[in-house]
Structure 1
Amino acid sequence: METFVNTTVALLTVLALFLVLALPSLIGLRHEWRVDRELRAARESARPAQKSSSKPTEPSTATWYAEGRRSKKLVSS
């Protein structure tokens, strides 16, 4: 009977230590899941408000040329 009690106490001690060590990780994992869920919901609610065209806009040739000229002036002076 004494062996059974010792074994049970040892098992409960190991389980308690495991819970103490694993609890911060489990709490962090739960927090990460909540943040992911909130980000997903925000992304879904923001989609209809976006522009219909998903193609990124490119600067015109004149803008590209002017920026190139500005950068050359800064380098040469």
Structure 2
Amino acid sequence: MAETKKKDRGLWFREMKSELKKVVWPSKKTVLKNTGTVLLCSLCIGVCIWLFDFVVVNAFQMLIGVLGG
């Protein structure tokens, strides 16, 4: 039983190594380009969320001021 598990584990590692050899890793230029794209998109989404929050908070403050809260 224990030998079967060891053989299975060894087979799993051999297959994993074989699959990793098939991977086409991106170049440094591609990684930098994709990283820049992700950072820019994250920044844009953050600005949109900040603007929405700013407008909603000010709208509620104005409503509270008008209603005399």
- TM interval, shorter chain, is 0.3 to 0.5
TM-score normalised according to structure 2 size: 0.47
Larger Rg: 1
